[in-house]
Structure 1
Amino acid sequence: MFKKLPGDEAQHLVSTTPDTAVVFRPAVVQTPAIVTLVIFAWRLLVGAVRLLWRHPIASAVVAVPGVIWTMYDWRAALIAVTAPVSVLIPWAFFERTSFNRWIGWRLLAWWRLVWVYRRHWQPVMIVSGLGRHVRGRDYLPRLIRIRCTFWADVLTVKMISGQSVKDWADRIDHLAHGFGATSCRVTVERSGRLRLTFPRCDPLAVPLPAVAIPAEASVGPIEIGKQEDGSPYRLKVHGTHVLIAGATGAGKGSFLWSAIRGLLPAMRAGLVQVWALDPKLMELSFGRAIFGDHYAADPAACADLLEAAVKIMQERAGRFAGVQRNHIPTTEDPFLLVLVDEVAFLTAYQSDKGLKVRISAALATLTTQGRAVGVGVMAALQDPRKEVMNIRNLFPDKIALRLDESEQVDMVLGDGARDRGALADLISPRPEQGAGVAYVRLESSPDPIRVRAAYVSDTDIRDMAALFTGDTTPIEMGDAA
C-alpha cells in the first residue's frame, strides 16, 4: 500500500529505489504577478491588432461613431450612423446584386463566422477527431477565411501538421451535421490548406429548360446546363470520351440530347457527325431524322456501326501519322461522336456471344485510340459494376447521376470521389428535383463538380429535327420514331 505523509514532508524526501511506495508531490513554481500581467497585456494587444487587420470595416463601423461621440456629441454620432444606413437600405432593395457583391455577402460571412463556425469550431473538431486534446491543450486546425456566395459558405482551413486530405474526407458527415449544413465537400487548395464548401441551399432544385441552340458551329465545349455556383456548365466532347451512369429516371437523356442540341449547328455545317446506337428503341429514336443512316437499334446493326467507326478511325490514324497529332474538324474529316444509350445491353447482357465480342472489341478500340483522330464515344448505362462495364476506366470524363448505392459512386467517378462530396446516391428520386442532377469528374481534376443538365422536351427534339432537315412542318412522334 502507498504510504501517505502529512503536510509538505513528501517533497523533502528523496527515493533511490524505483519500487518505492512513497507518494511524491511535484514542486510548484509560483509565477510573479507582474509576469502574468505582462503576458496577458501582450496577448490582448496582439488580439486587438489581429482583429483590426482581419476585420477593418467591421472595426471601423464600431469605432467611428464612438470617436465622433467623444470628440463632438451624440447628435453628430447619430448622423454618422444614420447617413450611411439611409444609403445602404435603398441600395439593398433596388440593386440587390451589386449590394450583395460588395457588402451583403461580406456581412453574411462575418455573421456566419461569429455565430456558426467560431462558436462551434472547437467542439466539432475535437468530437470528429480532426483536433487533438493533449495534456490539457487543444491542437486544432486553423480557420483562415470564410467567403459566402449565394448558395454556400466556403471555408479555407489550415490543417494540423501530419494530417492528410483523407482524414477530412472521411469526416464530411461529421462536419456537415456539426455546422448545420446538408453536406460538405473537401477540396485541396494548396499544400496544407483545404477548401470546405457547406451548401446553404440547392440552386439546382428547379428543372432547367433546354439551352438555346448555338448561333455558331462549334465542337465544344458545349453548354448543356448549369453548375452549382450558377455558371453555365459546358461539356467537352471533342478530344475525350464521356461515360454517363445513372439509375432509371435519373436523367441520362438530358445529357445526351443537350449534347446533340449543342452540336446541331456544327452538324449542319458538316463539321460533326453523330452516330447513334439505341438498343432500347426509346431514347434516341425520337430524333432519328437527325442521325440519318448513322442510327442503329438492332444489336447486329450496332456492331456494324461501331466497326465502321473503327475503320474510319484507323484510316485517319494512317493519314495523320507523322503529319499532325491533334484533330481539327473539317468537312473532309469531321468530328465523329458515337452515342451509345444503355451500353450494358450491348456488352454484358448481350446473349449472342459473337456480337458481344465484336461490340466490346470495337468500343475498347475507339476509347483507346479515337481521341487523337477526332472520334469520341459518349456512353450511358444504369449499372456501373465492373462485370457490366469492364472498360469504364477508358473514359477520361465521367458523369454520375442518381445511383442506387453509395459504393457505385466510386465505381463511376473513381476512388475517393464520394469522400470528396460526390453524393450521387443521395440525389432526390423525384423527377422535378433530381432528374438531370449529376456529379462530374473530369480527367484534369479529381474534385467532383455538381451540375444539372437542361431538360430537352419532345417539342424541342421535334424542332431540332425540323431545323436539321430543313422541314418547317411539325414532325409527329410516330414519324420521328
Structure 2
Amino acid sequence: MLALASFLAREVRWWVRHILYFVRRALGLVLIAAALIWWFGDRVPSYILVALAFTAATIRGWALLASSNWRARIEWPARGVLSRLAFRWRWPTMAEACGLTQRDEVGDIVAPALRTVTCRWPWLRCEVKTLPGQKMGDFEAASEALRHALGALHLRVEQVAAAGVLLTFTMDDTLASPFATPEPGIEAAALEVVEVGRTEAGKPWNLPLGPHTLVAGCSGSGKGSVLWSFVLGLAPASHTGLVRLHGIDLKGGMELLMGARLFATTATTAAEAVALLEELVEQMRKRTRRYAGHVRFHEPTVEDPFHVVVIDELAALTAYCTERDLLRRAELAINLLCSQGRAPGFMVFACLQDPRKEVIPSRGLFTQMVGLRLKDVNETAMVLGETAVTAGVHCHRIRRDAPGTGYVVPEDGGPPLRVRAGFASDEVVRAVADRFPAPPHEQVVEEPA
C-alpha cells in the first residue's frame, strides 16, 4: 500500500507540475477548452473522454519510458517557442531595468533592437543591435542583472558584428541529474576520442586522445568521475594492447588500485613514480629516434602502443614531495613527456586540486584543460584562461552536489562547453577491470643497431 501511495503521489506531482507549466504559458488554450466544455456541457460522448484518457496515458508513458526522446521532441521545442515569445515581450522592460536603454530626441525610452531570437533548449540566443555609444563592455557589466531578470542559470556575452552583441542564456540545467558511466563494449573504439560524459546540449562529451590533459577541481568536485570515465573508455583498447595505461597514485593507491588490472604498470610511492616516468621518457626517446626521417605521427599498434600516464594527484609529485631530488626528476620527466610526447604516442592525463603555477610549473604544457568546481574566479582563469571568464565561465559557482560537472575549452577555440562526467561505482570499475585486464607487460622494442 505504501508503494502504491508513493507511486500515485509521484504521478500527481508530475501532472500538476506540467499542467501548471503549460497553463501559465498557454492561458489562451485553457480558455478555449473551458469555452468548449461550457458549450457542449454533458453532451460530450463517452468515447471522447476515453480517447482523452488514452492520449493522456500515452503522453505520460512516452515521458516516463523514453524521457530523452520526450524532452528532445516535445518538451524542449515547446519551451523554446514559449521562451522566445516571452523574451521578445519582456526585453524592453529588462533592458530598461538593467541600464541598457537611452532616450531619443523626444524623450522616449529606446531599448537596443533585437535582430534575432532563437532557442535551442537549453540555450536562448538573441542578437542585439547596440545603441549609439554602447559597447560590449556595457552588456558584460549588466550580464548578472540580465541573467537574474530572465531567471537564467548562465549568460555568455560575445561580439558578433561592429554594432552587434550576442547574448546566450542558459535557461535550464540539463546536467542536474547524475548518471552512470556506461560499461565499454567488446569492440575497441577508434583511438581518436574517449566518451567520458555528456555536454549541456545532451550530446556525448568526448575527450580527444592525444593532447595532454589536466583536470583541476577542489576536493569532492568529481575528478574521480572524469578519471575513471576516461580510463574505462580505454579499457578495450588496453586489453588488446593498442593502449598501455600507466597509473600513478601517491595516496597509497586508494584510487587507482581499485582497477589495478586495467593498468600495465602502477606506482604508489614517489620513488616508484619517478622511476616509471623516467622509463617512459627513455621509451619516448627510443621511439622518436626510430621514427626520425620515417614517421611524423604515431599510429598505435600492439608492437608500438599508445602510452597514457594517469596521475591521480599531480601536485604530490611537483610540489609536495619532501625529497628534492625526486621532485626535480619528476618535474623534468613530466616536462619532457608533455613537450615531446604527443607525436610519438605518449599522453599525460593528470588531476590536481591547486592549479597555481608554483604548485604545477608545467601547467602551460597541458593543452587540454578541464575545470571542475574551483575556489574562486582566479583559479578559473588559471585553468581555462581569461577569455573563458569573460565568456561567463565561473567554475567556483558549480554546486557542491553536482560532482563531475565542469567546463572544457575545445581545441578548435570555440566557446567553453559545460559538461558532466559519468559516475563509475567501485563495482563497475572492478567489473570492467576483470573483463578487460591489461596484457602482460612486454619488452619495449629496442632501437635497431
SS in 1 for 2:214: strand
Of 409, 413, 418, which residue of structure 2 is paired with 1:441? 409
| Stretch moving more, 201-210 or 448-457 | 201-210
Counterpart amino acid of 2:307?
L
Task: From the superposition, tell whether residues 445 and 164 of structure 1 become closer, same or farther in structure 2 (CA, over 3 Å).
Answer: farther
| Matching residue of 2:432 | 464
Distance 1:393 1:170 in 2: 30
| Matching residue of 1:93 | 59
Of 124, 140, 153, which residue of structure 1 is paired with 2:94? 124
Distance 1:265 1:421 in 2: 38
Note the 1:233-272 alignment, pairs <5 A. Answer: 233-236=205-208, 238-272=209-243
For the 8 Å contact 2:116–2:128, the answer to whether it is kept is: yes
| Stretch moving more, 180-189 or 370-379 | 180-189
| Matching residue of 1:222 | 194
Distance 1:390 1:221 in 2: 27
For the 8 Å contact 1:340–1:378, the answer to whether it is kept is: yes
Distance 1:317 1:443 in 2: 25
Unaligned runs of at least 5 residues, structure 1? 1-85, 472-481
| Matching residue of 1:389 | 360
Task: From the superposition, tell whether residues 102 and 256 of structure 1 become closer, same or farther in structure 2 (CA, over 3 Å).
Answer: closer
Counterpart amino acid of 2:382?
M
Counterpart amino acid of 1:220?
E
1:398 is displaced (CA, Å) by 0.6
Counterpart amino acid of 1:264?
A
Aligned identity (percent) is: 36
Distance 1:162 1:326 in 2: 51
Distance 2:163 2:281 in 1: 46
1:322 is displaced (CA, Å) by 2.4
For the 8 Å contact 1:211–1:225, the answer to whether it is kept is: no
Whether 2:111 is the aligned partner of 1:143: answer no
Whether 2:262 is the aligned partner of 1:290: answer yes
1:119 is displaced (CA, Å) by 3.2
Residue-by-residue CA offset, 1:268-317 (whole Å, 9 max, x unaligned): 1111011111011221121122214x111111111111111111222222
Note the 1:42-441 alignment, pairs <5 A. Answer: 93=59, 108-115=79-86, 117-133=87-103, 135=105, 136=107, 140-159=111-130, 167-187=138-158, 194-218=165-189, 219-236=191-208, 238-281=209-252, 282-292=254-264, 294-430=265-401, 434-441=402-409
Unaligned runs of at least 5 residues, structure 2? 1-50, 440-449
Residue-by-residue CA offset, 1:410-454 (whole Å, 9 max, x unaligned): 111111312312221111112xxx111111112222521111111
Residue-by-residue CA offset, 1:369-401 (whole Å, 9 max, x unaligned): 111111111110001112111221211111011
Counterpart amino acid of 1:147?
T
Distance 1:100 1:340 in 2: 38
Distance 1:283 1:297 in 2: 10
Counterpart amino acid of 2:377?
S
| Stretch moving more, 140-149 or 457-466 | 140-149
Counterpart amino acid of 1:447?
P
Distance 1:404 1:327 in 2: 38
Task: From the superposition, tell whether residues 180 and 235 of structure 1 become closer, same or farther in structure 2 (CA, over 3 Å).
Answer: same
For the 8 Å contact 2:238–2:262, the answer to whether it is kept is: no
Distance 1:468 1:129 in 2: 59
1:463 is displaced (CA, Å) by 0.6
1:102 is displaced (CA, Å) by 7.5
Counterpart amino acid of 1:175?
L
Distance 1:330 1:188 in 2: 46
For the 8 Å contact 1:396–1:442, the answer to whether it is kept is: no
Counterpart amino acid of 2:90?
H
SS in 2 for 1:373: coil
Distance 1:100 1:208 in 2: 17
Residue-by-residue CA offset, 1:32-86 (whole Å, 9 max, x unaligned): xxxxxxxxxxxxxxxxxxxxxxxxxxxxxxxxxxxxxxxxxxxxxxxxxxxxxx9
| Stretch moving more, 445-454 or 99-108 | 99-108
Distance 1:469 1:463 in 2: 10
Give the alignment's TM-score, normalised by structure 2. 0.76
Structure of greater Rg: 1
SS in 2 for 1:339: strand
Counterpart amino acid of 1:118?
R
Distance 2:269 2:69 in 1: 56
For the 8 Å contact 1:436–1:453, the answer to whether it is kept is: yes
For the 8 Å contact 2:198–2:420, the answer to whether it is kept is: yes
For the 8 Å contact 1:252–1:401, the answer to whether it is kept is: yes
Distance 2:137 2:203 in 1: 29
For the 8 Å contact 1:126–1:133, the answer to whether it is kept is: no
Distance 1:266 1:367 in 2: 22
Counterpart amino acid of 1:459?
E
| Stretch moving more, 151-160 or 97-106 | 97-106
Distance 1:395 1:160 in 2: 42
Distance 1:311 1:378 in 2: 19
| Matching residue of 1:39 | none
For the 8 Å contact 1:170–1:419, the answer to whether it is kept is: no
1:109 is displaced (CA, Å) by 3.9
Task: From the superposition, tell whether residues 159 and 234 of structure 1 become closer, same or farther in structure 2 (CA, over 3 Å).
Answer: farther
